Amino acid sequence: MKTKSLQRVFDSAFAGIRQASEAFTPQLTPREVGTIVSVATGIAKVSGLPGVGFDELVTFPGDVPGIAFNVDADEIGVVLLGEYWHLHAGDEVQRTARVMDVAVGDSLLGRVIDPLGRPLDGNGPVASDKRLPIERAAPPIMDRAPVTAPLQTGLKVIDALIPVGRGQRELILGDRQTGKTAIAIDTILNQRGQDVVCVYCAIGQRASAVAKAVSVLRENGAMAYTVVVVTEGNDPPGLAYIAPYAATGIAESFMEAGRDVLIVYDDLTHHARAYRELSLLLRRPPGREAFPGDIFYIHSRLLERATHLRKEFGSGSLTALPIIETEAQNISAYIPTNLISITDGQIYLSPSLFELGVLPAVDVGKSVSRVGGKAQRAAYRAVAGDLKLAYAQFEELETFSKFGARLDEDTRKIIEHGRRIRACLKQQELSPVSVPAQLTVLLALTAELFDTVPLDRMTDAEHAAQQAAANIPAEVCARFETAEKLTDADRNTIIEIARKALISFQPKPESKSDPKPEVKAGAKPETESEPKPGTTTEPQPETKGETKPAVKLESKPETKAGDSATAGSETPIGPKPEAKAELKPKSEEKS
C-alpha cells in the first residue's frame, strides 16, 4: 500500500511539471549593448547604444554606473560615477532605461552617505522603500507661497542685520579659512528642537574636514535630524557633479511631506570646477575662465528648487545656504556673480575682520538679505533698523578717524557706541544664542547701556545680559515668537532687566577722580600750578623776549624730576641764576 501511494505522489508531481513546461513559451527581450571606445579621467566614450537618452543611467562591468552626458550620432560621452581603473576599451555597456535616482525617507536621518546612496558611516545599508530622481523640475510659481517665517541661525549678526527666511536662498561667500562652514554648522546646530530637517552636502571636501564636521554634529546631538551627503576630494568628478542634485532630491522628499528643510552646499566652487573638468574632457566648448556656457544654468536649476510651498501642497519649505569661495576678496568673479544673481541675498565674510578677531567675520556693508527682512520677527525689526544705521555710521567714522583727525564729542560717542556694537556682535563658534538672549543684548545696545562698560569687559557684560534674559516674563517671551510688536512696557521691562545685570560692570565713581593726579604729574599742569606761590612772579617778566623757549625747556625736566612738594620751593632758586646769566650779555649787546 505504501509503495502504491508513493507512486501516485510521484506521478502527480511529474504531471504538474509536464503541464508547466508545455505551458511555458520563452520570450526574447531586446537589449541594447554597447562597447567602450575609450576611457579617460572620469569619462568614457561608448558606441553602440542608439536609443540611449540624455541623463540616462548606464552600467559598466563591475556595476559601475554612469550618466549619458553627450549624445552624438556615432557615440555617447558618459560620466563615470565610480572607480573606473578596471575598465578597458571593448568592455560591454548596458542601458537601464531609467535616470539617476536616490533613496529618500526618514531612514536617512542620522546617516552619512554618498550621492549614490551607499553608506559611509559603517552602520549597514540604507533601508528605504522610496526613490526619487536627482534631477527634477522646480515647483511652478503658482505652487509657491511667500517667505513669511524666519529661520533662526543663532548668530546675532545674521538674525538681527541679515535675517534668513524659510524658503530663502542665502549665499555665504568669502575667502578660504574665513569661517564659511562654521556659520553653516552653527545654523544646523541651532535647529535643534525647531522641527527643521537639515541636509549637509560636502562637495569635494577633504576627508578630515568632513569627519570633523560630522563629529561636531554628532557630539551636539544634531545628527538626529541631519542627513550628510559626502563626496571627498579623491572621488571621481562625476560624483562631485551629482552630489548637490542628490542632496536636493533627499531634501525635497521632506519638503513635500510638509516639513521645513535646511540644505547646505559646501561648496559650489568645487561643483563648478568638477563640471568644468567634465566638460573639457568631453570636448565641450569653453567660455569665460574655461567654464562651459551652461555653468549658470546648472546652478540656477539647482537653487530654483528651494522654495516655500502653498498650504494646498503641505506648506513645506526648503531653505538653501550655498557656499562659494572667493579669491583675494574678488566677489565680482564669474562664479560668485552668478550665484549672487541667482540667490536672494549674500553673507560676505571679510578676511580683514577675521584677522582682527571679529568672529563671525561678517561684513555688514557688503551683506544683504532681500527676502528675509519681511520674514523677520517684529521684535527684531524694531531694533535692527537703528542698530544697522548706527553700525554703518561707525564704520565710516572709524575709517575717517584713522587719519588722525581731531574728533568732536558727538563723533567720539558714535565711535564708542559702534565699538560696543561690534563687540556684542562677536560670537564664539558652536555657541548659538537663543531669541530672548539676543533681544536682551540688542535692546541694551539701542538703549546705550553698554556705552559706559569698558571694552575689555564687554564679553563678560554681554554674557551677564544673556543670562539675565531668563528673568523675562513668560508673556513677553511668548510675543517673541509671534508677529506682534513689542509694546513700550515690554521694551522697558527688558531694558530694566539688562540694566540690573550690567550694574556691576559700570565704572565706579572713584575712577573719575583718578585722572586728576595723573594730569598734575604732567609738565603742562605743573607749569600752571607753580605760579601760585609768590616766588614765581619773577621768572615771568624775565622771559618776555627770546628767552621764553630757554626757560620752558629747562624748567620742564626739573619739575618732572622733582616732587610736587619740593618743586614749589626749589624751582624759583634754580632757574633764576640761569636766566640772569643769559640775560646779562644780551642786555650789554643791546646797549
Catalytic residue IDs: 370
Q: How far apart are CA 591 and CA 589, in angstroms?
A: 5
Q: How far apart are CA 534 and CA 511, in angstroms?
A: 33
CA 565 to chain CA centroid, nearest Å? 62
CB < 8 Å & 24+ apart, contacts of 210-218: 213/181, 213/185, 214/112, 216/185, 216/189, 216/430, 217/185, 217/188, 217/189
Q: How far apart are CA 452 and CA 449, in angstroms?
A: 7
Q: How far apart are CA 298 and CA 289, in angstroms?
A: 16
Q: How far apart are CA 460 and CA 500, in angstroms?
A: 14
Q: How far apart are CA 55 and CA 67, in angstroms?
A: 5
Whether cis (ω within 30° of 0) applies to the bond prior to 575 is no
Helices 458-468 & 409-425, crossing angle to 10 degrees?
Answer: 60
Whether cis (ω within 30° of 0) applies to the bond prior to 267 is yes
Max intra-chain CA distance, the chain: 168
- 167 contact partners, CB below 8 Å, separation of at least 6: 145, 147, 306, 307, 308, 317, 318, 319
Cβ atoms 173, 184 nearer than 8 A: no
Q: How far apart are CA 260 and CA 336, in angstroms?
A: 27
Helices (H) and strands (E) in the chain, counts: 23, 16
Q: How far apart are CA 138 and CA 309, in angstroms?
A: 11
DSSP H stretches of helix in 282-434 = 295-303, 334-342, 351-355, 372-375, 378-401, 409-425
Q: What would the grid cell of residue 121 be? A: 558611516
Q: How far apart are CA 200 and CA 188, in angstroms?
A: 9
Cβ atoms 444, 500 nearer than 8 A: no
Three-class SS of residue 92?
strand
Question: Which amino acid is located at 291 in the chain?
Answer: F
Q: How far apart are CA 443 and CA 453, in angstroms?
A: 15
Angle at 369 between CA 169 and CA 210, to 5 degrees: 45
Which value, in Å, is the radius of gyration of the alpha carbons in the chain?
37
Q: Which residue, among 447, 446, 462, has the nearest Cα to 386 in the 3D structure?
A: 446
| Residue linked to cell 555597456 | 93
Cβ atoms 371, 147 nearer than 8 A: yes
